[in-house]
Structure 1
Amino acid sequence: MAIVRRLHEAGITSEHAYAAAFASIGLSLLSWTASMKAEQAGVERADRWGIFVGEWAPTFFALGLALAGYEQQPPAAEGSRSAWLDDPRDNAG
């Protein structure tokens, strides 16, 4: 979860990730439409562009969920790790 912590420290919030997910959905439709009109390659090429950009949305939604979980955790004491970042297997008895 070091990536989530670094994103959070860089000022990126779950709302930013959710906004990026919705923007990528719109961009997917826009790229599909633009490819249909601008290229002579046909529907197959346009579909590939739309799917390529459309696959970003689940990634951004997942990052949003991870950031939301991180944001809900109480701040860890200096020098200690957040319980959210601990591996549950370490506590298994």
Structure 2
Amino acid sequence: MLKKLHDSGLTSEHCYMAGFVSIGISLLSWSLSKQHQHGQVDRADRWGIFVGEWAPTLFALGNGLRSYEK
């Protein structure tokens, strides 16, 4: 799978940047959801956690793709 991603032009830098962006989106979605739900923390927490779980996966893909770039 990593070879196909690398062959399609995806680099480790793309994955690392997407990981950092997902952290920012997680914080933003948590904040916005909390405001729009009038303080219902449960739903805001679920949105933040859902998006926040992407970051480790993207960082792991970046580490894997780095081995193909060497």
Residue of structure 1 aligned with 2:8, choices 7, 10, 16: 10
Question: 1:30 corresponds to which residue?
Answer: 28
Question: 1:68 corresponds to which residue?
Answer: 66
TM-score (norm 2): 0.95
Distance in 1, Cα, partners of 2:43 & 2:22: 18
Question: 1:54 corresponds to which residue?
Answer: 52
Aligned-residue offset at 1:7 = 0.7
> What is the aligned residue count?
70
Root-mean-square deviation over aligned CA pairs:
1.1
Q: Identity, % of aligned pairs?
A: 60
**Structure 1 spans left out of the alignment, 5+ residues:** 73-93
Q: Considering only CA atoms, is the larger Rg found in Structure 1 or Structure 2?
A: 1
Higher relative contact order (CA 8 A, sep 6+): 2
Aligned-residue offset at 1:49 = 0.4
**Structure 2 spans left out of the alignment, 5+ residues:** none
